[in-house]
Amino acid sequence: MCHNINLNTVDTYRKVDMYNKLLKLKKEGKIKYLGFSFQGTPDILREVVKEHKWDFAQLQINYLDWDVIKGKEQYEIVQNENIPVIVMEPLRGGGLVDLSKKALDKLNEAIPNETPASYGLRWAASRKNVITVLSGMSNLAQVKENIETFTDYKPLSEKKEILGTELSKIIQSQGEINCTACKYCLEVCPRKINIPAIFQLHNSYKQNNNKSVYSLYYNTLAESEKADKCIDCGLCSKNCPQNLNIPDLLKKIDKEIKELS
Ligand code: SF4
Ligand code: SF4
């Protein structure tokens, strides 16, 4: 797999002629399926799918990113070339598991006994031509829940699929930051600001509006990791697959936290 094709990496893949190097290995029987994972814009994706013949495309597909990062458009570009899809981030780094009360009530009302994780996984798997749904699991309970979801798996009905759009609208109206906690920004930050942790605390605050918990947990971060230590170099944003303007967001969070304290 050509990992993480995006605005910053696409030309490097071209320059080193990676596709043809891998194709040679495929012809030798050392690779069975040759594909790519993608975290760029639809325009780049259009070029990538036309340049070569791919066996699969790994895309970030979930009911929130369907709109937010133009996931629907990306999926359709790949579908037009009839390329099988592997889904990554079906639960958006766990962000679609911890739903706000409003979103959770909406889900429970529409599908009683469905968990947010199960709904998110089933929503992603219900797309046509999806061959695999990847899910990062961090404990045994999550492993069990995922196995249960995909045992005797049934795709969502159209009516239940539409619920994803409604949940997405609720989540987007809460002012959360679209961070998937991939930590690519941490790899390049010269000040080692704990960006994903800060964004996660901010998002939890937007979900539950609990000011004291926000302040309390923010203050458990080391002083050197906090938003006000950012020097605005912008390196993190260049590495962010979600194209977030991280320095600006950190400035807003710093202001927000200081106003709450
Ligand atoms: S802009 Fe701030 S957070 Fe981003 S890499 Fe530079 S110092 Fe780190
Ligand atoms: S690179 Fe972007 S999406 Fe990934 S953890 Fe950092 S801010 Fe979040």
Q: What is the pLDDT of residues 174-232, one digit of tens each?
A: 888 988 888 999 999 999 999 999 999 998 888 878 888 898 889 989 999 999 999 99
- Ligand 1, atom 3, residue with closest C-alpha: 230
Confirm if 87 and 132 have CB atoms less than 8 A apart.
Answer: yes
Nearest ligand, measured from the Cα of 247? 1
Q: What is the pLDDT of residues 45-66, one digit of tens each?
A: 999 999 999 999 999 999 999 9
- Ligand 2, atom 2, residue with closest C-alpha: 240
**Stretch 104-132: mean pLDDT:** 95
Ligand 1 atom at minimal distance to the Cα of residue 188: 5
Q: How many residues does the chain have?
A: 261
- Candidates 178, 188, 246: which one to mutate for ligand 2, based on the most atoms within 8 Å of Cβ? 246
Confirm if 153 and 122 have CB atoms less than 8 A apart.
Answer: yes
Q: Which residues have any ligand 2 atom within 6 Å of their CB?
A: 179-185, 195-196, 199, 239-240, 242, 244, 246
What is residue 39's predicted lDDT score, i.e. its pLDDT?
A: 87
Ligand 2 atom at minimal distance to the Cα of residue 184: 1
Tell me how far apart the alpha carbons of residues 45 and 31 are, in angstroms, rounded to a whole number. 23
Is the pLDDT at 233 greater than 80? The verdict is yes
Confirm if 59 and 88 have CB atoms less than 8 A apart.
Answer: yes
What is residue 260's predicted lDDT score, i.e. its pLDDT?
A: 85
Adjacency order of strands within the sheet including 56-60: 2-5, 35-38, 56-60, 85-88, 130-133
What is residue 152's predicted lDDT score, i.e. its pLDDT?
A: 84
Could you tell me the domains of the chain? 2-171 (3.20.20.100), 184-260 (no CATH)
Is the pLDDT at 154 greater than 90? The verdict is no
Residues 6+ apart with CB under 8 A from 115: 145
